[in-house]
Amino acid sequence: MKWYQALILILLLFVPNLSAAEDFGTRQEAVDMVKRVKALAARDGLQAAVEAVNSQRPEFKIKDLYPFIYTLEGISVAHGANVKMVGKSWITTKDQDGNYLIQTMVATASSREGSGWVNYKWPNPLTHKIQDKSAYIEKLGEDYFVGVGIYSGL
């Protein structure tokens, strides 16, 4: 193998993918996706939004972004990445630092503003490592909230 072929191989194997950042959603894209879920629920009803999220319709699966919908009691009713989470209570789920992330999301949705960002740690399905994550949460109707999270520190 010639020296320049070896150099190219080394670069391909060991230099991080600089274009990878475009594969990750932004804060604004997360907010926009939450708004799309809310608009669908307002237009066609909560059940239509739940079905759209659970079926991973293209407008709800962009880059590494996906929405999730929970009751204010912490029960998952829709999850755009893992439908096995649906139907279960996650109210006592803690992140790596011992923070009750779903309880914090419920509190955010139940606040006077009804929306905000929640920071926590969560496994990144791409890297399989625990990473910092922020989810934008908004109250959905009287008894639910919808959120979309982004990984930070990538």
Provide DSSP, the chain. Answer: --HHHHHHHHHHHHS--GGGGGGS--HHHHHHHHHHHHHHHHHH-HHHHHHHHHTT-GGG-BTTB-EEEEETTSBEEEESS-GGGTTSB-TT-B-TTS-BHHHHHHHHHHSSS-EEEEEEEEE-TTT-SEEEEEEEEEEETTTEEEEEEEE---
The answer on pLDDT for 7 being more than 90 is no
pLDDT digits (tens, 9 = 90+) for 34-46: 999 999 999 999 9
- Residue-averaged pLDDT of the chain: 87
Mean pLDDT lowest among 21-25, 40-44, 117-121: 21-25
**Cα–Cα distance for residue pair 65/135, rounded to 1 Å:** 10
pLDDT at position 100, please? Answer: 97
- Output 152 or 82, whichever has higher pLDDT: 82
Q: Does domain 26-151 have CATH number 3.30.450.20?
A: yes
Tell me the mean pLDDT in the region 41-66.
94
Of 130, 126, 137, the C-alpha closest to 21 is 126
119, two tokens: 């920071």
- Tell whether the model's pLDDT for residue 84 goes beyond 60: yes
Q: At 2, is the pLDDT very low, low, confident or very high (cuts 50, 70, 90)?
A: low
Look at residue 124 in the predicted model and tell me its pLDDT.
79
